[in-house]
Amino acid sequence: MLPRAGWFLGCLLSVAAVAGEIAPDSMDRGLAAQFFQEAKALSDRDGGKLWGRSVYGPMLFVDRASRSVIANGPDTDRTLQRSGDMWEGELPAAMFIANTAVEWSGLRWTMVGWPLPESRHARASLMLHECFHRIQKELGLDLSDRPCGHLDSKEGRIWLQLEWRALGEALLARGPTRRRAIQDALLFRAYRRSLFPGAAELERNLELKEGLAEYTGIRLSARSEAQAIADALGGLDLGVRKPTFVRSFAYASGPAYGLLLDRSAPGWRHHMKEGPDLGDLLLKALAIRMAAPEKSQALGRAAGYGIEELVQDETQRDYRRKLRVARFQASLVEGPVLTLPRTEAIKYSFNPNELLPLEQGSIAYPTLQANDIWGALDVTEGALLTPGDLRVSAPEHPISDPLRGRGWTLTLKPGWRLVPDSRKGDWRLVQEAAPSAPGEPSR
């Protein structure tokens, strides 16, 4: 719970109430048709004003249990079969089911996993968030989204939460009070980034990729400005409750900055192809002059946002975090590991609320599902994903089908095998050489 006299939580009871409500588990064609219409109606109401084009387009619901698909239109490759006003089929086993945008059967789709939220408002926000991801490439905003490991440190978490508290104040205030709260938020943001080289770009990319998607869902699903503000405040409160901010922070920051920019610089969305920082846009819109942030200045303003309590809480959390880091460091870095190559064909799914930064900037994924040219990997107790490879703890037996290790299972495609790696106890996955053609010398 954020302090400051319950500074925005009072108007948010509906946000928490919808979290556990879901539509029936089995895919219902009538409900699917209703949900498609809901998303289309809200997109039509916007009329393309938000992003210069309709956010609604090819959309499919995928049942998480059966993998059955219901789509709002035909696919180019004719994989789906028409059934009344909708099209039906089955998602290939190699594709992950997730709320995302996906290239499949000749089209770029908005994919939403079934069941959907029972609350109409929560459902609309989710669908429109994912609709934004479908048009993100067209907007020039399909950016890399590397995790922000610094946001799991004690200092990173403290100053991010202070920024959020000031943003919450700004959303509720008017006039000079709002301007002062925005200045505080931007001060805390700038000071945090000064502590971590490279942090600004990492945070910017995630805010543009996921933050703007969440902003879109809130902006287009809200029936009034008051509801949009309440939803953004709810996102800030929910953001604090996440186990980690490494990737999830943008879902809270993005809508807050978006709504504040709507008030201060109505044409801000026309400049998105330039890849601007949302904080910088707000700084310019309000003509706020900010010198290089000093610690004494930041601490002085932070006193009014409950920094003492935050420091106590985050000191306790940091102790527990270091214990977890030591465990994953021992398993995935210091101990024997299996290394799998990572190619451009990799597809993976993970929980963004679980990511754990380790030493030397690497990120542990406590749970992960991945498909690549070598097969399928299912991880339940930790994997290390780097730009060039994927690592799990060493296998129990290097020759088995499927391969297994502590908390993971690997099903290989033909032509792949394990070989000992350079460090004792380590293994590496390699592709077997193709057999030579008749008359051709072997390699």
Enter the tokens of residue 294: 């000093």
pLDDT of residue 271: 84
Residues 375 and 91: their CA atoms lie apart, in Å, by: 17
Sort strands 368-372 and 375-379 into parallel, antiparallel or unpaired.
Answer: antiparallel
% helix, strand, coil for the chain, step of 5 = 45, 20, 35
Sort strands 416-420 and 347-350 into parallel, antiparallel or unpaired.
Answer: unpaired
Asked if 133 and 110 touch (Cβ cutoff 8 Å), the reply is: yes
Of 337, 338, 312, 334, the closest CA to residue 325 belongs to 334
Burial class (CB in 10 A: 0-12, 13-18, 19+), 197: exposed
Q: What pTM was computed for the model? A: 0.88
Asked if 157 and 245 touch (Cβ cutoff 8 Å), the reply is: yes
pLDDT of residue 438: 53
Spatial CB neighbours of 312, under 8 Å, sequence gap ≥ 6: none
Enter the tokens of residue 70: 């219901």
Regions of the chain short of the pLDDT cut 50: 1-21, 440-443
Residues 191 and 184: their CA atoms lie apart, in Å, by: 11
Sign of CA dihedral 341, 405, 385, 427: negative
